[in-house]
Structure formats: structure tokens, C-alpha cells
Amino acid sequence: MVTRYLQQCFDREKPYFVSDIVDILRTILNTKPPAPTALDPRLSSDQKTRKAGKIFVDMTGGTEGSREIFESLTSGE
């Protein structure tokens, strides 16, 4: 549902610059820059004026793979 919602937002808003994408995400998340959270979408200064191009939203819920795989990723093995 989140993937479809975000894709519909981007399709409707038609962001031109990458910074426009971040502005849309901030509106959805209801944050204002600079947000004091690590979850706030951010860009480096050279990316702000890049054209967005075609936007394709693809998200997962972190449920792929077995528990052992995730444990090995977090333990550094």
C-alpha cells in the first residue's frame, strides 16, 4: 500500500528535480528541514538540481530472507 501511495503521489505531483522528490516526502512525513531525525530524507548539495527523470517506487518490508541471514548481517560475519 505504501508503494502504491508513494507512486501515485509522484505521478500526480510530477517532480522535476530530485529536490522536489524530497519536498514531497517531507510533506508526507510532515517534517521541515532540517529535521532532527535520521529518517528525514536528505540530499547532498550537488543532487538538489538534478532532474528527477522517471520515478519508480519499490519498497519491501524487510521480510525477505531467513532470520539467520539477518543475524549474520548484523553480527558482521
Q: What is the pLDDT of residues 6-17, one digit of tens each?
A: 999 999 999 999
Q: Which residue has the cell 519508480?
A: 56
Compare 56 and 37 and report the one with higher pLDDT.
Answer: 56
pTM value > 0.85: no
The domain locations on the chain are 2-75
